[in-house]
Amino acid sequence: MHFPDHGDDVDILVQRASIALRIAQQSSKGYATYESSFDKNTPLRLTLISELRHAIERDGLELYYQPKVSIKSGEIIGVEALLRWIHPAHGVIPPDEFVPIAERNRMINPLTHWVLRRAFRDCANWHKQGFPVKVSVNLSAKDLHDPELPDLISGVAVSSNIKPSWIILEITESSVMSEPENALGIIKRLHGMGYQFSIDDFGTGYSSLAYLKKLPLSEIKIDKGFVMDILNSENDAAIVKATINLGHNLGLTVTAEGVESKEIMTRLMDFSCDVAQGYFLSKPVTFKELNQWISDSRWKIADHNSSLTAFAGLLN
């Protein structure tokens, strides 16, 4: 890399150095000097990167919330915060498309900080209104490598007046396994402060059960890939059932994501699954929409057993 020929901004230099690194890894020489021809999409990609940075700094992001419903009581017991980028030209951009850009370009720290501030603020607001909901926040693998994460989270908690026990931090098996010792240290510190942990996309990673046992978990979320096919695939049904039993034997709450129909919901009930999340119950909604339900008391389904359809009717 040559400064300032290859960029006069540290983020652009790091981005281009990583492109040169990828080229070096593919070449027989074992090294490479950055050239603009390495990166055909440079202008577009760099525009997106700087637009994302702008969105994080200027509130161009939005948090949606998807209800998590207790299968036994029918109540909304929690919500998962799901990030959206409201782009002025491209409209709503889903997180799968821009979180990886943030991860690659050293923006995950301000991005996660924004999510925590917004989610904790909304959580405090709901508790004040008498809606005792737990808010789940997704953490990226990069967050679990940041030794300052526990201090960052506790700072946001203090300034937004929330209790750690109101928050569930969602991590994935692969995000823990990429640097297990560091991640475990950070997770244990946060757990000691009162935060709960959930393993997201359970069943899709390569983690060892021995390692999972070391994590201070409260919840397992079965990946929607298994749940959505539970009616058509005996294998998926067996995996879901076995995961529910495994979770219960480890003393964990088991949540199924991707619950798209009443039939899936009924099957999960038969399997004694604890919590359901999915389009059958509700798609992710804005803070305002969720507030409307709260003021209509629609989060509490009094006589759930009488009718399963109550879920769809009440929540959508």
Q: Given the rule CB under 5 A, which residues bind Ca ion?
A: 138, 170, 200-201
Please identify, among the stretches 33-41, 77-85, 121-129, 231-239, the one whose residues bind ligand C2E according to the rule CB under 6 A: 77-85
Residue 51 or 219 having the CB closest to Ca ion? 219
Phi–psi pair at 93, nearest 5 degrees? -105, 125
289 binds ligand C2E (CB under 6 A): no
Q: How many CA atoms lie within 13 A of 281 on its CB side?
A: 29
Site residues for ligand C2E, 119-148, by CB under 6 A, read 138, 140
Give first-to-last CA distance, the chain, whole Å: 54
* Least distance from ligand C2E to the Cβ atom of residue 89, Å: 20
Report yes or no: 253 and 287 within 8 Å, Cβ to Cβ.
no
Lay out the site mask for ligand C2E across 229-268 (x = CB under 6 A, - = otherwise). Answer: ----------------------------xxxx--------
268 binding partner (options ligand C2E, Ca ion, none; Cβ < 5 to 8 Å by kind): none
Q: How far apart are CA 21 and CA 7, in angstroms?
A: 16
Q: How far apart are CA 13 and CA 59, in angstroms?
A: 26
Strand segments, DSSP code E, in the chain are 61-70, 76-87, 91-93, 134-138, 167-172, 196-202, 219-222, 253-256, 275-276
From 56, 77, 79, 83, residue interacting with ligand C2E (rule: CB under 6 A): 83
38 binding partner (options ligand C2E, Ca ion, none; Cβ < 5 to 8 Å by kind): none
- Chain residues in the site for ligand C2E (CB under 6 A): 66, 81-83, 94-96, 99, 115, 138, 140, 200-201, 224, 257-260, 278-279, 284
